[in-house]
Structure 1
Amino acid sequence: MPSVTVRNVPEEVHRAIRVRAAQHGRSIEAEMRDILESAVRPSGRIKLGSLLAEIGREVTLSDEETAIFEGVRDKTQARAASFE
């Protein structure tokens, strides 16, 4: 796992992280990992699969429309790729 060094952190920021880590029962390093992860992976983020599933639930297809998709499906067996 990669390491990151952050230099010249203001004393107030370091103190606030230390207090926050103590409140969460973590080390300063663990708290900083959590802060970084929260910053780059917002909790409100919707993943693509979840979004597609939600769209599918909202769309109501008739039996005729569903039959169109069933008829289009290619039922032949997949072949292994050849790179020669």
Structure 2
Amino acid sequence: MASMTIRNIDDRMKQKLRVRAATHGRSMEDEARDILKMVLAQQETTAGNLAGAIRARLQPLGGVELELPAREPIRDVPDFSAL
């Protein structure tokens, strides 16, 4: 079985882990192992289309019709030859 060392853990996070482990009646190492097991057992979501995800989330709320402004002709290119 493999072992792992985790360095540079924030003091607050370590304290939360210590309290959580004590609440569950086990060591910090056991608690960390259980947290990793739980998180890694969850089904990973696949990366998808961001626009589609936003649309799917907001579509039940209804849409908004925005009036598009009229297009203007393209402006002439500025003349920098006098500089």
Q: TM-score normalized by structure 2? A: 0.50
| Unaligned 5+ runs, structure 2 | 45-83
Ranges of 4+ aligned residues in structure 1 off by more than 6 Å: none
Q: CA deviation at 1:17?
A: 0.2
5+ residue gaps, structure 1 = 46-84
Which aligned pairs between 1:1-84 and structure 2 lie closer than 5 A?
Answer: 1-42=1-42
What is the distance in 1 between the residues matched to 2:8 and 2:39?
Answer: 20
TM-score (norm 1): 0.49
Deviations 1:32-78, CA, capped at 9 Å, x for gaps: 00010011002x79xxxxxxxxxxxxxxxxxxxxxxxxxxxxxxxxx
Q: Superposition RMSD on alpha carbons, in Å?
A: 1.6
